[in-house]
Structure 1
Amino acid sequence: MTAYWISTYQEITDEAKVKAYSKIARPALLAAGGTFVAAAEPAQVYEAGEQTRVVLIQFDSVEAAVAAHDSDGYQEALAALDGGAVRDMRVVPGL
């Protein structure tokens, strides 16, 4: 079953660290089988929505998304992020 990795940036505290993270994270997640569906600030928000960056990545399964997160390449990206952002990150199974 398809799964979606959803990251919402609640606060960016160091833009340089976020850029360094992104340069490492994107290739690591692509190599792990992820397909980037969206990565931007919302065009429109409703209800309790916040105007913060959202990243949506599709994987073949929850297990694939978790393995991508736990991979050495992505862990290197997290080390580069080093507190540069406060994020809400989830893996959600598709329908």
Structure 2
Amino acid sequence: MSAYWIAEYDEVTDDAKLAAYAALAGPAIQAAGGRFLARGLPEQTYEAGQTTRTVLIEFDSVAAATAAHDSPAYQEALAALGDGAVRDIRIVEGV
């Protein structure tokens, strides 16, 4: 069953670190089978109205998404990000 990696960026504290992360993370995620479905600021918000950067990535399974996150290539991207952003990542199984 498919799974979705959802990342929400509450705050970007260092644009250079975020750029370094993105340069490494995108290829690492795609190499692990991730497909970027959405990325950016919301076009419309409701309820809490948070205009935070959101990224939605599809994987074939929760195991594939978890393996992507735990891979050496993605861990290298996380090291490049360091304290450059405050964010939350969730992996959710599809329905």
Q: If the length of structure 1 is used for normalisation, what is the TM-score?
A: 0.99
Q: CA deviation at 1:36?
A: 0.2
- CA deviations over 1:14-43 (Å, ceiling 9, x no partner): 011000000000000000000000111000
CA distance in 2, matches of 1:61, 1:90: 13
Instruction: State the match for 1:51 in structure 2.
Output: 51
Instruction: State the match for 1:63 in structure 2.
Output: 63
Q: CA deviation at 1:49?
A: 3.4
User: Structure 2 unaligned runs (5+)?
Assistant: none
Give the alignment's Cα RMSD to 1 decimal.
0.5
Instruction: State the match for 1:16 in structure 2.
Output: 16
User: Structure 1 unaligned runs (5+)?
Assistant: none
CA distance in 2, matches of 1:21, 1:28: 10
Task: Describe the SS at the equivalent of 1:9.
Answer: strand
Q: If the length of structure 2 is used for normalisation, what is the TM-score?
A: 0.99
Report % sequence identity: 63
Q: CA deviation at 1:11?
A: 0.5
CA distance in 2, matches of 1:6, 1:81: 17
